[in-house]
């Protein structure tokens, strides 16, 4: 457009380890030169600001919010172009998603199961001691 205003375009691509792929378009908002602004992508999830659990997200600028159940290694790539004829800038990062609530539940179940097995082995030992006398 001009020397003082530009409109970035591009995509954010999320690839999972099971072959799934999601593409989100960057919303082309006008940005003044030498200023800071968080670029927004097409919405994938809505934030309900009425609940206390999401108050932290409502107070900050979020580029992309992805909802769903994620587990395993993911590849997140952003391709941004700042002018029509410009070369796209590509940034890639990798992360591993582990569901904390599911992991906590499995840990609790393992502890309960282990405690039950330990208690059962103690009962069997005491019964063995009684019958041998």
- Is 42 in contact with 57 (CB distance < 8 Å)? no
My answer on whether 30 and 89 are in the same domain is yes
My answer on whether 12 and 55 are in the same domain is yes
Nearest to 6 by CA among 68, 119, 83, 73: 83
My answer on whether 81 and 112 are in the same domain is no
Average pLDDT over residues 107-132: 79
Q: Quick one: pLDDT at residue 107?
A: 93
My answer on whether 61 and 89 are in the same domain is yes
Q: Quick one: pLDDT at residue 63?
A: 76
Q: Quick one: pLDDT at residue 66?
A: 77
My answer on whether 85 and 127 are in the same domain is no
My answer on whether 19 and 62 are in the same domain is yes
My answer on whether 60 and 82 are in the same domain is yes
DSSP 8-state code for residue 53: G
- Domain range holding 19? 5-98
At residue 2, does pLDDT exceed 60?
no
């Amino acid at each position: 457009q001009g020397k003082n205003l530009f409109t970035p375009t591009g995509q954010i691509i999320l690839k999972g380890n099971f072959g799934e792929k999601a593409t989100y378009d960057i919303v082309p908002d006008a940005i003044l030169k030498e200023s800071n602004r968080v670029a927004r992508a097409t919405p994938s999830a809505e934030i309900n600001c009425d609940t206390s659990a999401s108050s932290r997200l409502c107070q900050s600028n979020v580029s992309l919010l992805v909802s769903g159940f994620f587990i395993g290694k993911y590849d997140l790539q952003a391709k941004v172009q700042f002018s029509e004829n410009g070369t796209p800038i590509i940034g890639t990062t990798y992360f591993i998603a582990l569901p904390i609530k599911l992991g906590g539940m499995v840990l609790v179940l393992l502890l309960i199961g282990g405690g039950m097995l330990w208690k059962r082995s103690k009962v069997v030992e005491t019964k063995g001691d009684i019958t041998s006398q």
